[in-house]
Amino acid sequence: MSILSGKHILLGVTGSIAAYKATDLASKLTQAGAQVDVILTGAGEKFITPLTFQSVTGRKAFTDKDLWGDEAHVMHISLGKTADLLVIAPCTASTMAKLAHGIADNLLTVTALASTCPILIAPAMDGGMFDHPATQKNLNTLLSRGCLVAGPAAGHLASGMTGVGRMLEPMELVGHVRAALGKHGTLAGKKVIVTAGGTQEAIDPVRVITNHSSGKQGYALAQAAIDAGAEVTLITTPTSLTPPVGAKVVNVKSVQEMLDALMNESADALIMAAAAADFRPKNIAQNKLKKRDGIPQIELEAAPDILKTVSGSPVGAKRFKVTVGFAAESQSLLENASEKLKSKGLDFIAANDISATDAGFAVETNRITLLFKDGTQEILPLMSKTEAAEKITEHIARLLE
Ligand code: PMT
C-alpha cells in the first residue's frame, strides 16, 4: 500500500456508535504507513477514549482540551495545513451540518475550516436523520464544495431499525482514502481498463473449461491504477476477491463476453492480465451431459484472441494508447513472450513463469520480466503482486506522458 506510506491523515471521530470502528480504520491506515492524527469531538469521546487511538496510532489523540490548551492559537492551523487528507469517520448529522455551514465550535470543526487538504466524510446516523431534508441539503452543499462522501451503507442501525445510515466498514473506507489520495497521481485524468481472472468456457449448463487464475494480479493492477489517479474499469471473471473501491466493475465469464465488454470501451491503457482461454468447446450442450451416455467427446475450437482483435483496430480508430499483455509460460518464457509482444501488437508484455511456486497463478507474489516493443527489457525480482502492479502502472504513466 505505498500510496498511504508517509501520508499525513487527520482522522476526525464524532459522536456515533460507529466510533468503535474508527479504531480499526486508524489501525489499518497506520499499519499501511500513514501518520494518523486523531481528533475526537466531545461526543466522540463519550463513545471511545483518546487512549484507544493513541494505542493504535502511537501518536497523541487530540480532543477539545487541546483547542483551549497552551498551543490553542496554532494547533488547528498546524493540523489542518500539514495533512494530506482529513477523514471524518464516523461523521454525524450534526458535524455534517456544522461543516456545511462553516460552524467551527470544536477542535475538529475549527481544523476542518482551517484545512487546505481534501475532506472525506463517512456519514453515520439513523436512517430518518440521513433522509431528513436538512441533512440531505447539507450533504449536497458539501458535495458541491468538493467534499468527498463515502457511504453511508444500508443495513442494521443502532436504533434497531434497518435503513441507510451505517458507516462503511473500515476496509472499504481505506479504499476511499486511497482513491482520494491518488486523485492527482501520475495517471490522473487517464482511463485504464484491466482484465482479471480466468475465463470460463461452458461445456454444458454445469461444466466449464477454466484455468488457475485467481484474479489477484489483475485486481492489484486495478488498485495500483486507482492509486495513481486513473479512472479504472475492471473486467473480471468470477473471483473471491473484492474489487478496489472506485473501479467500475464489468462481470464476464467467457472469452467472448470479455471481448464484447472490451469492444464497447476505449481507454488510455488496456492491461490484459486475465488468463483468457485459447480454446473453447465448439458446441455447448443445451442440457447437462449424462454419465450414463458415456464419456463425451468434446470438440474444441480456437477462442477469439482478444488482444489481437482489439490491437488490430485500424489506425485512427485505435482505442487504447498503451496496450499491455501478460505471458503465462511454463517453458521458453522470454522467447514465447517476445513472440506474443509482436504478434499481439503490444507496447509491452509482462512475462511470468507459471511453473514457479512463488509466481504466476494464485500466489501473492510474482516474478516478472517486462519486454518492451523497442527491444528493452526489465527484470523485476520476486515481489508482491501489488508491487509488480505498481511497477507496471509506472511504465504505463511514462508511456502516456
Ligand atoms: O490471476 P492470478 O492468480 O493472480 O495469476 C496471474 C496470471 C498468471 C494469470 C497473470 O499474471 C497472467 O500471466 N495473465 C495472462 C495469462 C495468459 O492468458 O497468458 P497467455 O500467454 O496465454 O496470453 C498472452 C496474452 O494474450 C495475455 O495478456 C492474455 O490475456 C491475452 N489473451 C489470451 C488468450 C486470448 N484468447 N485472448 C487474449 O487476449
Ligand 1, residue 214: give the atom nearest the CA.
Answer: 3
Ligand 1, residue 195: give the atom nearest the CA.
Answer: 30
147, 181, 215 - which closes a domain: 181
Please state the domain count of the chain.
Answer: 2
Ligand 1, residue 329: give the atom nearest the CA.
Answer: 21
**Is the beta carbon of 274 within 6 A of some atom in ligand 1?**
yes
Kindly report the protein residue whose alpha carbon is nearest to atom 18 of ligand 1. 275
In this structure, is residue 2 part of a structural domain?
A: no
CATH code where residue 215 lies = 3.40.50.10300
In this structure, is residue 341 part of a structural domain?
A: yes
- Tell whether 80 and 12 lie within a shared domain: yes
Q: What angle do CA 64, 70, 71 make, to 5 degrees?
A: 75
Ligand 1 site-directed mutation target among 272, 311, 341, 364, most atoms within 8 Å of CB? 272
pLDDT score, position 81: 84
Q: What are residue 94's phi and psi, to 5 degrees?
A: -65, -45
Ligand 1 centre to CA of 350 (Å) is 10
Q: Does residue 211 have an active-site annotation? A: yes
pLDDT score, position 264: 76
CATH code where residue 31 lies = 3.40.50.1950
Model's pTM, two decimal places? 0.93
152, 181, 210 - which closes a domain: 181
**Is the beta carbon of 272 within 6 A of some atom in ligand 1?**
yes
- Tell whether 172 and 196 lie within a shared domain: no
- Tell whether 218 and 251 lie within a shared domain: yes
pLDDT score, position 316: 45
Ligand 1 centre to CA of 253 (Å) is 14
Ranges of the chain with pLDDT below 50: 315-316
> Going by C-beta distance under 8 Å and a sequence separation of 6 or more, which residues neighbour residue 65?
none
pLDDT score, position 162: 85
**Domain that includes residue 226, residue range:** 191-400
- Tell whether 26 and 157 lie within a shared domain: yes
Q: How far apart are CA 28 and CA 170, in angstroms?
A: 8
Kindly report the protein residue whose alpha carbon is nearest to atom 10 of ligand 1. 273
In this structure, is residue 186 part of a structural domain?
A: no
Q: Largest Cα–Cα distance of the chain, in whole Å?
A: 86
- Tell whether 131 and 211 lie within a shared domain: no
**Active-site residue, selected from the candidate residues 106, 138, 140, 211:** 211
pLDDT score, position 112: 96
Kindly report the protein residue whose alpha carbon is nearest to atom 14 of ligand 1. 273
Q: What are all long-range contacts of 313-322, with beta carbons under 8 Å and residues at least 24 apart?
A: 319/265, 319/266, 319/267, 320/193, 320/266, 320/267, 320/268, 320/269, 320/270, 321/267, 321/268, 321/269, 321/399, 321/400, 322/268, 322/269, 322/270, 322/347, 322/396, 322/399, 322/400
- Tell whether 196 and 172 lie within a shared domain: no
Ligand 1, residue 336: give the atom nearest the CA.
Answer: 21
